[in-house]
Amino acid sequence: MKIQKLLIIGISVSATIFLSQCGPSKEVKELMKRANETIGVIPDKMPGSESDTGDKLALGKKLYFEKALSKDNAISCNSCHNLENGGNGTDNQSFSTGVNGKKGGRNAPTVFNAGFHIAQFWDGRAENLMAQAKGPILNPVEMAMPDADAVVRKIGKMPEYAELFKKAFPGTKDPVTYDNLVSAIASFERTLKTHDKFDEFQKGNAKALNSAEMEGLKTFLDTGCTNCHNGPLVGGNSYRKLGLVNAYETRDKGRYLVTKDEADMYVFKVPSLRNVTKTFPYFHDGSISTLKDAIQKMGWHQLGKKLGDEDIGKIATFLNTLSGN
């Protein structure tokens, strides 16, 4: 009798050990499947990167950090989209400071993963990275150069650039053009991708997330956040009205400024939530300083839900798994 009991215990213990080595439980597999269906892994390559050469990247990287691209030689792309010392591609300010301390009217989004978005800027007014990069250099509250010709003349006079442009654009007679300059910056930006443990999880590594993080993922999916924040960037792929259910107070008319279509009033690009823990403050107006506050406001304005502290905490725990390097 005793021996039989011991045998049964022995068998069940080894069965448990065997099963736990067998891979994730049914629930975890189910969650992985849901995540992959609504979100998915960030692709390896950004669209357009096929034709990026090492020489073009090297030029683009130098230009990204080039303060001579601003009127007072004090501001580079990196001033507002910091990549140094583990920078997350933003300045963590509500509004950025450009030439002569001038402030813009919108929060600077991160440059990480930007090349995967449907379009650039909060209102999507630039169709791609190249079109985007033409903006800040000539924007009076950002880098404030008077016009494209002035930029080309200034950079064209700097001896260190002659060789770099020639290598990046071989076979062209006058490689220093505004289009080539922003095209090189765009190539460099196409290398700015993040890796995080949520993608490890989606690829099948059940241990990449702990149980609290999985619980958070489930809450994020169940609450309806993925109505808008979906696809590999957890956003970045559609435009939606801010204040869809309960109005949000803002003077910024969003995408209406681009399309002049009444239906686009207060419509913004749904931001990507990859790396969101690090890219505070939040919203186009940079008015929300904590992630928990952003989640609470999203629940109310976008879904008409009064989320409790517990759910907000769970969602924040999940969003933290989207932080990568």
Residues tagged active-site: 142
193/240 with CB nearer ligand HEC:
240
- Total of residues contacting ligand HEC (CB under 6 A): 50
Q: Kindly tell me the sign of the dihedral angle through the C-alpha atoms of 172, 175, 179, 184.
A: positive
Segment lying near ligand HEC (by CB under 6 A), choices 34-42, 171-179, 191-199, 295-303: 295-303
How many Å apart are CA 236 and CA 251, to the nearest integer?
22
Query: Among the candidate windows 22-30, 145-153, 159-167, 280-288, which touches ligand HEC by CB under 6 A?
Result: 280-288
Contact code string over 73-102 relative to ligand HEC, x by CB under 6 A: --x-x-xxx--------------x-x----
Give least dist CB 10 to ligand HEC, A. 47
240 makes contact with ligand HEC (CB under 6 A): yes
Q: x/- binding map, residues 117-136, to ligand HEC, per CB under 6 A? A: x--xxx------x--xx--x
- Asked if 322 touches ligand HEC (CB under 6 A), the answer is no
| Site string (197-226) toward ligand HEC, x via CB under 6 A | --------------------------xxx-
The answer to whether residue 56 forms part of the interface with ligand HEC (CB under 6 A) is no
Contact footprint for ligand HEC (CB under 6 A):
75, 77, 79-81, 96, 98, 104, 106, 108-109, 111, 114, 117, 120-122, 129, 132-133, 136-137, 142-143, 185, 223-225, 227-229, 240, 242, 244, 268, 270-271, 273, 276, 279, 282-284, 294-295, 298-299, 302-303, 315
